[in-house]
A and B are shown apart, each in its own frame.
Chain A
Amino acid sequence: MFAGPGTVLFLAVVIVPFVYGLYLTFTSWDGVSLSKPFVGLQNFADAFKDTTYWQAMGRTVIYSIFAVILINIVAFLLAYLLTSGVKGQNFFRAGFFVPNLIGGIVLGYVWQFVFNRAFVAIGKALGNAAAVSLLSTPNGAMFCLILVSVWQYAGYMMLIYVAGFMSVSNDVKEAAMIDGCTPSQAMWNVTVPLMRSSFVQCIFLSITRCFVVYDVNLSLTKGEPFGSSVMAAMHVYNQAFTYKNYGLGQAEAVILFLVCAVVGVTQVMVGKKGEVEA
């Protein structure tokens, strides 16, 4: 009974829209007209032929690989530093978490200003008169996206790693040291395996978020320059709403969801297998 309201809400805001969305993939609806002609699997066939979509998808994969690795390395190192007893570590933990509290849209605009104005001004001040914004080249824009994502999520993942570090009791570490481990050996052979679940969680969260990145993409690069930084989610949005191919966009969204789900679930299954307990 107490699950009732929750179930109703879940049905209303997740399941029903999802099923309705699936239905729309079988229509050639343009998003505004009153008629929704049924076209069967045509949208999925078109989605597989849509080269810009697959380019955007490829770009998203590359972006995700770099971003996920960097986010987790940075987050892990921060967590390590901030559990080793640095003075004011609680303050720093809060500080590194703050970027995550700023919404992606605002974050994107702030960094756009930094890349377009601040860095260019610094470059000019340092004597490089031809300094241009990183955002004006395709590779530069990609680099900026990855950098901002790392900055945004590292603090969040750091908190999970901090919890992981704290969950490993000092007893096992001391035992390892007494048995002759160096601190770094104790780290790699005892602490890290014991906090494996933190890694699984963090990597899962960062993969799923990177795959469907939209807000930072929109406000930082808007897909520019010349459409070279359009990620899969943005392409889906454009396809559905800007180009008015709602059915096709929805079909591409479903494919994106499946890819994201397969990657995420595989990673969790592989990660869970090797989990150990003290």
Chain B
Amino acid sequence: MKRAIALILMLAMVMALSLSGTAYAANKVTLTIFNSKMEIQSQMEEMAEEYMDTHKNVEVEVYYSSDTVAAHMSTKYASKDPYVLAMVDAKDIFSLGPDHALDQTGEPWVAETTQAISVDGKVLGFPFCVEARGILYNADAIEKIIGEAFDPAAYKTTAEFSALCDKLVAGGMEGPTGLQKEDWSLGAHFMQEVYEMHDDPDAFIAGIKDGSVKLAEDNVFNALMDTFDVLKANNWMKAAPLSAVREDTEMNLAQGKIAFKFGGNWDWSDIKDFDPAENMGMMPVPSDLEGYNEKLVGGGSKYFFIDNSVSEEQQAAAKEFLNWLVFEEDGQNFLVNTCALVPAFGNITLPVSDPLGASVKQYVDAGAMIADYRYAPDDHYAKVGISFQKYLADQIDRAGLADEITAYWATAEVGAH
């Protein structure tokens, strides 16, 4: 008797579980979306609500993780619980795509962009936006002190930029620059400029690996580190650079307490909440590298891929969603106005609404963009970032930094491409 009751109870539980699963699926297609842009999470959630109003058969669930993208995706794939649609970085398309991404060749959106990622002839990555790195500036704050119109093009070299910082300090701005302490900002963004400003980044990295390039003597590395030193010396958080909070730096920039910040147009989504000055923008990282100091670094950023193991209905819903972003008025409006992104699609003609994005678009239109390097290994940002943090906190000098990065590359391998 007891045995029978226990069996019945177990059966009932199992049935209840499977029933609830199928009943749900019969009505609606669940479209799980992983968002890896923290700054647009609330916009994504609102968009999901509105999207469900017009697409009654789809249940959209938006997720975010504070973990790094590659790490979060590994946990999801290790537990065999993938998202239908996942927003990842370009390098993740190369590492995850061949095994897990659905081939989207022939989708209508493919024809409208130059930034899609293809691996082995299959279109796997949908470019969510164009992003670029550089120095963010607050022109109003600068003009107030120097008393003349601020023209970024007049401060192309390290010496010119340094002199401007000195002028700002003399004018009462205590620390005119802002540097983030995050490993991705230092390791993935600043250090990668060193690779990107070589004509052939792969050859340069191969040179570091086999010892034919001495990083400490490399002129690009030294030129950019000279600029980094200027940023570091004028950092408003100079006393404790490793406790700089990103939002504080952005707020100070928005309100003109500082004039510059190393970052990118993605910072706008925070800055816009801090009652920003009217005239802000982005300029190239100043340096003595002629030609390179007139360009921003960037390209397509944040890629969507559709998982190839989910049901066909889910894949279809994901495809429909991506085309909605590109071709429907609501979708375009979401990208350009709600999220303040620079779209990667030629058919979207809405004017870019934020000043940083407008700067980026200006450089893109002028062809003044250096392509970002996408094949750094997964641990590059973390390990090189740690070395950079040590440099920022004066634990090691430039030679020490070069040694640590060289040591890192001794065992690291660039991603397949």
Q: Is A241 an interface residue, CB under 8 A from the partner?
A: yes
Q: Could you tell me the dominant secondary structure of chain B's interface residues?
A: helix
Does the CB pair B242–A244 fall under 8 Å?
no
- Measured as residues with beta carbon below 8 angstroms from the partner, the interface class of chain A is 20 to 34
User: B51-98: which have CB < 8 Å to A?
Assistant: 67-68, 70-75, 77-78, 95-96
Does the CB pair B74–A246 fall under 8 Å?
yes
Q: Is A227 an interface residue, CB under 8 A from the partner?
A: yes
Q: Is B3 an interface residue, CB under 8 A from the partner?
A: yes
- Could you tell me the distance between the alpha carbons of A228 and B391 in the complex, rounded to whole angstroms? 14
Q: Which residue of B lies closest to A245 (CB)?
A: B379
B78 CB contacts on chain A under 8 angstroms: 31-32, 241, 246
Q: How far is the CB of B5 from chain A (nearest CB, A)?
A: 9
- Could you tell me the distance between the alpha carbons of A238 and B99 in the complex, rounded to whole angstroms? 22
**Contact string against B for A residues 218-253, beta-carbon threshold 8 Å, 1 for contact and 0 otherwise:** 000000111100000000011011111010000000
Q: Which of A120, A133, A226, A241 has the most B CB atoms < 10 Å from its CB? A: A226
- Could you tell me the distance between the alpha carbons of A130 and B387 in the complex, rounded to whole angstroms? 25
**Do A241 and B386 form a contact, CB below 8 Å, given A1-B3, A225-B242?**
no
Q: Which residue of B lies closest to A4 (CB)?
A: B6
User: A14-41: which have CB < 8 Å to B?
Assistant: 30-34
Q: Which residue of B lies closest to A239 (CB)?
A: B379
Does the CB pair A2–B74 fall under 8 Å?
no
Q: Is B10 an interface residue, CB under 8 A from the partner?
A: yes
Q: How far is the CB of A112 from chain B (nearest CB, A)?
A: 10
- Could you tell me the distance between the alpha carbons of A33 and B94 in the complex, rounded to whole angstroms? 12
- Please tell me which one of the listed residues A4, A30, A136 contacts residue B243 in the complex, with CB atoms under 8 A apart: A136
- Could you tell me the distance between the alpha carbons of A220 and B242 in the complex, rounded to whole angstroms? 14
Q: Could you tell me the dominant secondary structure of chain A's interface residues?
A: loop
**Do A136 and B393 form a contact, CB below 8 Å, given A2-B6, A243-B379?**
yes
Q: How far is the CB of B238 from chain A (nearest CB, A)?
A: 11
- Could you tell me the distance between the alpha carbons of A31 and B393 in the complex, rounded to whole angstroms? 34
- Could you tell me the distance between the alpha carbons of A14 and B10 in the complex, rounded to whole angstroms? 19
Interface size, chain B (Cβ < 8 Å): 35
**Contact string against A for B residues 1-38, beta-carbon threshold 8 Å, 1 for contact and 0 otherwise:** 01100100110000000000000000000000000000
Q: Is B45 an interface residue, CB under 8 A from the partner?
A: no
- Could you tell me the distance between the alpha carbons of A224 and B390 in the complex, rounded to whole angstroms? 10
- Could you tell me the distance between the alpha carbons of A202 and B72 in the complex, rounded to whole angstroms? 34
B2 CB contacts on chain A under 8 angstroms: 1-2
Q: Which residue of A lies closest to B10 (CB)?
A: A5
Q: How far is the CB of B399 from chain A (nearest CB, A)?
A: 17
- Please tell me which one of the listed residues B6, B9, B74, B100 contacts residue A241 in the complex, with CB atoms under 8 A apart: B74
Q: Is A200 an interface residue, CB under 8 A from the partner?
A: no
- Could you tell me the distance between the alpha carbons of A142 and B96 in the complex, rounded to whole angstroms? 36
Q: Is A73 an interface residue, CB under 8 A from the partner?
A: no
Does the CB pair B74–A132 fall under 8 Å?
no
- Could you tell me the distance between the alpha carbons of A225 and B70 in the complex, rounded to whole angstroms? 22
- Could you tell me the distance between the alpha carbons of A240 and B96 in the complex, rounded to whole angstroms? 16
- Please tell me which one of the listed residues B9, B68, B240, B379 contacts residue A133 in the complex, with CB atoms under 8 A apart: B240
**Do A227 and B386 form a contact, CB below 8 Å, given A130-B239, A136-B393?**
yes
B99 CB contacts on chain A under 8 angstroms: 32-34
A242 CB contacts on chain B under 8 angstroms: 68, 70-71, 378-379, 382
Does the CB pair B389–A32 fall under 8 Å?
no
Does the CB pair B74–A31 fall under 8 Å?
yes
User: B81-126: which have CB < 8 Å to A?
Assistant: 95-96, 99-100
- Could you tell me the distance between the alpha carbons of A1 and B72 in the complex, rounded to whole angstroms? 40
B393 CB contacts on chain A under 8 angstroms: 136, 225-226
A154 CB contacts on chain B under 8 angstroms: none
Q: Is A146 an interface residue, CB under 8 A from the partner?
A: no
- Could you tell me the distance between the alpha carbons of A2 and B382 in the complex, rounded to whole angstroms? 50
B77 CB contacts on chain A under 8 angstroms: 31-32
**Do A224 and B382 form a contact, CB below 8 Å, given A1-B2, A2-B2?**
no
- Please tell me which one of the listed residues A5, A116, A238, A241 contacts residue B75 in the complex, with CB atoms under 8 A apart: A241
Does the CB pair A241–B71 fall under 8 Å?
yes
Does the CB pair B96–A32 fall under 8 Å?
yes
Q: Is A135 an interface residue, CB under 8 A from the partner?
A: yes
Q: Is B181 an interface residue, CB under 8 A from the partner?
A: yes
Does the CB pair A226–B70 fall under 8 Å?
no
A243 CB contacts on chain B under 8 angstroms: 378-379, 382
Does the CB pair B100–A32 fall under 8 Å?
yes
Q: Which residue of B lies closest to A141 (CB)?
A: B242
Does the CB pair B240–A224 fall under 8 Å?
no
Q: Is B245 an interface residue, CB under 8 A from the partner?
A: yes
A226 CB contacts on chain B under 8 angstroms: 242, 386-387, 389-390, 393, 395
User: A76-129: which have CB < 8 Å to B?
Assistant: 116, 120
- Could you tell me the distance between the alpha carbons of A246 and B241 in the complex, rounded to whole angstroms? 33
A-B contact pairs, 6 of them (CB 8 A): A32-B78, A32-B99, A130-B239, A132-B239, A224-B242, A243-B382
Known: A30-B74, A31-B78, A136-B393. 17 other contacts (CB 8 A): A1-B3, A2-B2, A31-B75, A32-B74, A116-B243, A120-B243, A132-B240, A136-B240, A224-B242, A226-B390, A226-B393, A227-B389, A241-B67, A241-B71, A242-B68, A242-B382, A246-B74
CB-CB nearest 6 A-B residue pairs: A132-B240, A31-B74, A241-B71, A226-B389, A243-B379, A133-B243
